[in-house]
Amino acid sequence: MRAGALNENITILRSQKNRDEYGIDKESWEVFTKTKASVKYLSGSKTVDVQEVFFAETVEFTVRYYHNVLPTDRICYYGQQYRIISINPDKRNNSQTLVTELINE
């Protein structure tokens, strides 16, 4: 893998379950690691449903293989969070491709 192709900064977030003072489980997203990635936009669309606008965006992030990325992790890129749809490892190039979709919250 060419190091020069990894030219964007991303943050990988991992879910942490915490219990508050009332005994209720809360889910929070904490920084797992910050790394460099290659970013490729695959598709995008805008949908209006019940007077609310949703943006669907599919983005592909390529990172180094040694990052222990889980399918339940999220990617933070320019302030927006992306849900991982699939992880495609490529051991020959020492990389893995994360296909993601924009989270509309």
Distance of alpha carbon 94 from alpha carbon 66, whole angstroms: 8
Q: What's the CATH number where 31 sits?
A: 2.40.10.270
pLDDT (tens digit per residue) in 49-86: 777 777 788 999 999 988 899 999 999 999 999 999 99
- Reported as a pLDDT band with limits 50, 70 and 90, residue 10 is very high
| Residue 18 or 78, more confident | 78
pTM for the predicted model, two decimal places: 0.83
Query: How many structural domains is the chain composed of?
Result: 1
Query: In the predicted model, is pLDDT for residue 1 greater than 70?
Result: no
pLDDT at residue 84, rounded to an integer: 96
Domain that holds residue 40: 3-102
Contact residues for 78 (Cβ-Cβ < 8 A; gap 6+): none
Paired strand residues for 88: 97
The mean per-residue pLDDT over the stretch 7-27 comes to 89
The mean per-residue pLDDT over the stretch 73-100 comes to 94
Structure tokens given for 56: 């669907």
Mean of pLDDT over the chain: 89
